[in-house]
Structure 1
Amino acid sequence: MSGEELLSHLAELTRRLRRALLAVALAFIFSFAFGVRMVKVGGDPLLPVPYPSIDHSISTMLVSRFVESLLPSQVKLISIGVFDPLYASIEVSLLLSAAVALPVVMWELWGFVAPGLYPHERKAVKAAIIPSIALFAAGALFAYAVIVPTMLKFFLLFDESLGVEPTLSIKSFIGTVVSFMAAMGIGFQLPLVMAGLTKVGAVSAEAWRRNWRWGVLASFVFALIVSPGATGGIIETTIGLSLSALYVVGIAVAKAVEPRRRQNL
């Protein structure tokens, strides 16, 4: 590759990164600084209309939703620092902006790498985009519906056994929710990564099956890294078993895509 071609590729990468970052920034601003109200226009049904508002923004509404649906009624939510509620809203806005802008980011990434791929590789990558988004959403929902409620109930029981009034700062609460949703969204990409490596010929499906013990070990190591480490092994075991099950799913998907690769070759 000549120097001129390299500069051309770098310029293209810069343009696409700018567009991707702009999408993330716009999504962040909208979720952090705008609310949505339902308005009836004439005889039309109610329509969602955005309006500028930080204290009733989309992110603050989602913070309230997290509190109502996840926080046990016995736990008192407090603000330790002056800016803790603001930090909580920012964290939720970051999660929302990443989720909303993800299709744009993936489209720009695809536009950059696609010209350098073979036809069968382009087909494989395009086929993985929607499953990747779906798996991330599934992982985030799993954290929201299972991991976080289980963890909070455990800490509540522990506090009550010690005779301690259960309190939790809003910054810590929202940070925990967002972190677990993001971590599990990433962790749920495991079957797709395994299938992708098999599709390109890097790792065979038989190799995944033969080394399943290492896969299970890696799943529990990941669980130990992302979990708080103070739940008596409940959260760690739940995450580890979930990722181990996904590893088994990954083996099955890898077996399914391997014959297709041979046919393409």
Structure 2
Amino acid sequence: MSSQSPLLDHLLELRNRLLRSIIAVGIVFAVAATFADDLYHWLAAPMLASLPLGSSMIATDVATPFFTPFKLAFVVSIAIAVPYLLWQLWAFIAPGLYRKEKRLVVPLLASSTLLFYAGVAFAYFVVLPLALKFLAGAAPEGVTVATDISRYLDFVLTIFMAFGIAFETPIAIILLCWSGATSVTSLRRKRPYIIVGAFVVGMLLTPPDVISQTLLAIPMWLLFELGLLIAGLYRSEPKPEPEQNQD
């Protein structure tokens, strides 16, 4: 019976932290929902700017004009609450980590959040205007471009996720080297294959145009190089090991 007690304590703590996370997202959503239409107008700005004069976005479903802005507000609420959600995750797993692991995990959580935000910002301010202008201009003559607001939201969220995850490349490199799954030297030898892989990922995750594919592949390659640099600096400092063995 006593062996079940720690497990029950962990489950209760997990439940409490999940409840706090849900409440935090709910509070942010309550605020964001009041600006749902403004948020969607801001999101749709690149699309509206790329449409021909006289064109506009459309809604093909009866309930789409109502639900689509609230769907965006919910996604924005989760994105805003991410630092708090990660803090709850950190508070849950921290007791089971060694001191050396704690020193590494905190910067990784903070930097992964910033990198994800940076990827989303890069997609919105750089990739979307170029990609949407290209796609709108590629329409055959006589075809009026009129994008459905729900389809556009799904398209943009896919782009945001692709770039947000792609910008996590340095974190993935550091974790792989830290865990011993690979090494900096091995990854440097595989650099040509990784560069080709970045362009393949760009082709799979972005719209079918060369601009957005290249704009995803090049940052992934540069972030891969950054991850190698940071992982090399980290791996070059394992001096505490001998001192621990003496104890």
TM class by smaller structure: 0.7 to 0.9
Q: How does 1:1-265 map to 2 (within 5 A)?
A: 2-32=3-33, 34=34, 58-71=35-48, 72-74=50-52, 75-159=55-139, 161-228=140-207, 230-231=208-209, 233-260=210-237, 262-265=238-241
Structure with the bigger percentage of helix? 2
Q: Is the 8 A contact 1:198 1:257 kept in 2?
A: no
Q: Indicate conservation of the 8 Å contact 2:51/2:145, yes or no.
A: no
Counterparts of 1:83 and 1:245, CA distance in 2: 43
Assess if the C-alpha contact under 8 Å between 2:40 and 2:69 holds in 1: yes
RMSD of equivalent CA atoms: 2.1
How far did 1:111 drift? 0.6
Letter aligned with residue 137 of structure 1: Y
Pick the structure with more strand per residue: 1
Shifted more, 210-219 versus 16-25: the winner is: 210-219
- Residue 153 of structure 1, CA deviation: 0.9
Q: Distance in 2 between matches of 1:201 and 1:264?
A: 18
Q: How many residues align?
A: 237
Aligned partners of 1:68 and 1:238: how far apart in 2?
20
Contact 2:51–2:136 (Cα < 8 Å) also in 1: no
The CA deviation at 1:136 is 1.0
Deviation per residue, 1:198-247 (Å, 9 max, x gap):
2344432112212223433442343233223x32x332232122212211
Which AA in structure 1 matches 2:195? V
SS at match of 2:57: strand
Q: Structure 1 length normalisation: TM-score? A: 0.81
| Structure 2 unpaired stretches of 5+ | 242-247
